[in-house]
Chain A
């Protein structure tokens, strides 16, 4: 069995499972945020009306809650949702509620790794499509709708069809000017936005071994853009060290068998990769950065679960150090812990000296919520994960998806720029 089959077999209490088996599996962790949470509350209200008891969750210690999409509260409706969420977590005794303005908080997927909320081998579900991100820790991590999250909160289990696995073998260390973001954009461009539909996308090979945990998180994050059920990397010592630094103990490192089977194997020479962008209006609409270098920009946005981890900010700082931005540029660290390290290590000074606006952790303009959304005809380069029409603001604005290095280099020139051409 491969790693996903082993994790699902464990959760289902079976000795083995195979692709297309439907299993009822115990869930280890469940997450909801300020958009899916109020949706779940609505489902609970409906159940109450049907006379079903929703007085108790299956295990409130396994549930955690993030505030990220519309925080700090964008206007009165989102403020009310935050109040609703706080009442809910208090009522059900959910202690792990990361509230803005009260220490650590941030984008749910970022909190999942920054706070070691999810462990290797876990079955982890979240009320958000980018829950796939956390598969980089060696967990089976996938997104669910509100009703399914409500179901898990009450029952602690849910059914899965065991996915087939596409294995992406990445050969060689990425060059200095290339990031995991470039690689995953290239892959989504190659296989298309439904190229991984209901598949596991597993990443391995020397390119992944060489990669930091945060780079692996970027890879798994955008498996969602290929329609994958989940993304995953087999856990190694780097994952153990990363989570240990964040307070985790007791690891159960599940890995695939030597003779594990994969539905398809794709090979990439990661050492020969080029900086890549996805042009409007689809993440699959990719080309190398140098082919798009004539595009004039209005904005650069460095934020989101995809592109505002510490490593992403560090990459941006490498470019911005001693330089000035030519277009509006925003950097929103994805969690308070990242914000703090950026301050301690001098990154914030580099950003502010360059003219950047540094914002609070939030999904913000990535989903067009607030904090720098785009006007009609504005063109933005962004470290986020989606560029559908209207995703970041006006339906006639344009977003190019890119790595933090490219977004920072482009901020300096005002045009889409390969970091080597600065």
Chain B
């Protein structure tokens, strides 16, 4: 690889990372406000508490109902702390499971919006089973009979993000990122230097274009010129159109076939060699 070229690419990738984390980027509640005529938020996991890092509820959508669940970051210091920077605790994931169950019971399609640096790392989160909470959210999503659409709207940080993204269709906004680990942590572990985060970001291939190429996501949604933070309403319109499109597609198939296709899709994830041949 030619070095100059690599450096430029490096810069372009890092700009994407910064856009995905832009403090003025629209968050879940912004999209909900722009996309739906009405929204009733439902709170609590019925076990321990309500986690403000994940919001969810019933949205009025073209004369019918949609269950919307998403990570929620705060805009200023107070709300950022309250929302824990969008890092859910087990309660958040258990609330998500509860709302998914509710949607399934009444045949309501589920839209999830993904935007988190990752699940909260902490002692109390571990005590209450962070790993199991994420795993069971994945299982709940796998099991749903209703159509599911997930959109990565900002940061798709590791397992904490994936928990809400085991969906029939997974879309990504153009300037969002989706990765197994943050570029900073990856650089600290593999390069032994968190200063190499730019290089890690490029090597991990975390932009929407990379993920489309790797066939991990179904579609990249274009953002308004300069990024979604420039025009929340326009970004929400793009998302709404895509949602309409995907739901129409998914609702022509029966629940059994839809589930089978969902399983087939995730079964294909990964690249390996078998008997010397590389299989995708």
Q: Is the pairing of A and B real? A: no
Q: B residues within 8 Å of A by Cβ? A: none
